[in-house]
Amino acid sequence: CIPVDNLRKCEVKETKQRIRSKKGTEGIIDKLELVLYPKDQSTAPNSFEFYNSDDFLQLNGELQLAKKWNGIVKEAMEFHKS
Q: Is pLDDT at 36 greater than 90 in this prediction?
A: yes
Lowest mean pLDDT among 20-24, 27-31, 47-51: 20-24
How far is residue 10 from each of residues 3, 55, 75, measured CA to CA in Å? 13, 24, 10
Mean pLDDT of 27-56: 96
pLDDT at 82: 63
Q: Dump pLDDT digits (tens) for 58-73.
A: 999 999 999 999 999 9
Instruction: Write phi, then psi, for 68 (nearest 5 degrees).
Output: -65, -45
pTM for this prediction: 0.86
pLDDT at 73: 97
